[in-house]
Amino acid sequence: MGFTKAETAQFDTRGYLVKAGLLSEAALRPLILALGDIVEEGALRLHGEGKLSSPYAGEGFETRLAHIYKESEEAGEAVLAMIMGRGGGQFNGEAMLELLRNADLVDCVSDLIGPDIVGASAYRIRPKLPGHTRTEVPWHQDSGYFLPHCDRHLIVTCWIPLVDTTVENGCLHVIPGVHKDGVFRHYTGGHGGYLEIPGEELPENRPVPLEMKRGDVLFMTNLTPHASFVNHSGIVRWSIDLRYQSMDAPNNSEEDPETYTPERDPVTMACYPSEADFVIRDSNHPEREVTTPEAFRELRDRYHDAKPYNPGRGWTRLKDRKPS
């Protein structure tokens, strides 16, 4: 499928594009089922331990975790932790690799960054629970998390709702047309422990809330400011965000995590050294592509266990910010 010329032009001028109905129910179902299984496992365990009055087995993907959290915040947090380990990238299963390699998705990415594509382990599954303030994500650009020598490279984030998202349930908001203005100043220790661009330091362009249907995909640049706010609905706002870059942009797909040490020159490092990159498409050497769940899991776990050094960007702490 890919993008039309008009869509590519919109991505270029606004820094984002929503492609409606790109992913079929069949493409999303394996991941939804796998996440539902994690919730089920947690619910049954907590019920068995007497921490929940019911496993809420009659509830579906959109509501089960919300009911668990409503009855017991502690139980809800315990299930969240099963999903949000590794910052939200805990789930390593086959359904995850399948979605990362989804041809319709990757064809669109390829129209933005070319045919040879590396995917990032820094994908995030986000169950935003009703009334749960910690899962609000403050304004930031993804480049705030990447090393500075990568600011000139396009790293595409694909934000994929797993339920229909609305302003009420905490859809994503973006600031359009400022992705060519570089990286704004971020601060560490922002809301929820995330990096944050404080309101007074945001560009003046008006933010746009992106209400999306399940099946739609938002494509945005690493320099597009975005945020999400509290979920005021009764359902869980499930989403996942994936990241892709050209093989020509710095990455660690064929590097040993042990080579990431404080002695190494940061400009030789991958854009986000903490987690493994892996080949999604290689037009000359398709054998380099990570295609099996075993290889995917092994690579991600190897990086996770090695804890490669990431020099970061040295942002100031929010509480040390000087009023401007």
List contacts with ligand AKG (CB under 6 A): 126, 137, 142, 157, 159, 172, 226, 228, 239, 241
Task: Quote the DSSP letter at residue 254.
Answer: T
Residue 165 CB-density burial (10 A; 0-12 exposed, 13-18 middle, 19+ buried): buried
The smaller minimum CB distance to ligand AKG, of residues 46 and 235, is found at 235
The smaller minimum CB distance to ligand AKG, of residues 95 and 137, is found at 137
Closest approach of ligand AKG to the CB of residue 237, in Å = 8
Alpha helix positions (H), 57-140:
64-71, 73-84, 94-100, 103-113
Closest approach of ligand AKG to the CB of residue 142, in Å = 5
Asked if residue 151 lies in contact with residue 181, where contact means CB atoms within 8 angstroms, the answer is: no
- DSSP codes joined into one string, 133-146: GGG-EEEE-GGGTS
The smaller minimum CB distance to ligand AKG, of residues 177 and 209, is found at 209
The smaller minimum CB distance to ligand AKG, of residues 139 and 260, is found at 139
Closest approach of ligand AKG to the CB of residue 124, in Å = 6
Helices 5-14 and 103-113, axial angle in degrees (round to 10): 60
Closest approach of ligand AKG to the CB of residue 240, in Å = 8
The smaller minimum CB distance to ligand AKG, of residues 224 and 251, is found at 224
> Which are the contacts of 236, defined by CB distance < 8 A and separation ≥ 6?
61, 62, 63, 65, 66, 127, 128, 129, 130, 163
The smaller minimum CB distance to ligand AKG, of residues 101 and 226, is found at 226
**DSSP E strand stretches across 163-236:** 172-174, 187-188, 208-210, 217-220, 226-228
> Which are the contacts of 3, defined by CB distance < 8 A and separation ≥ 6?
11, 17, 19, 108, 111, 112
Closest approach of ligand AKG to the CB of residue 158, in Å = 9
Residue 10 CB-density burial (10 A; 0-12 exposed, 13-18 middle, 19+ buried): middle
Q: How far apart are CA 221 and CA 159, in angstroms?
A: 11
Name the 3-class secondary structure at 173.
strand
Residue 110 dihedral angles phi and psi, to the nearest 5°: -60, -35
The smaller minimum CB distance to ligand AKG, of residues 119 and 257, is found at 119
Please give the angle made by the CA atoms of 130, 134 and 63, to the nearest 5 degrees.
Answer: 25
3-state helix, strand, coil in the chain (%, to 5): 35, 20, 45
Closest approach of ligand AKG to the CB of residue 228, in Å = 3
Closest approach of ligand AKG to the CB of residue 10, in Å = 19
Closest approach of ligand AKG to the CB of residue 176, in Å = 16
Closest approach of ligand AKG to the CB of residue 136, in Å = 8
The smaller minimum CB distance to ligand AKG, of residues 228 and 252, is found at 228
Name the 3-class secondary structure at 16.
strand
The smaller minimum CB distance to ligand AKG, of residues 28 and 52, is found at 28
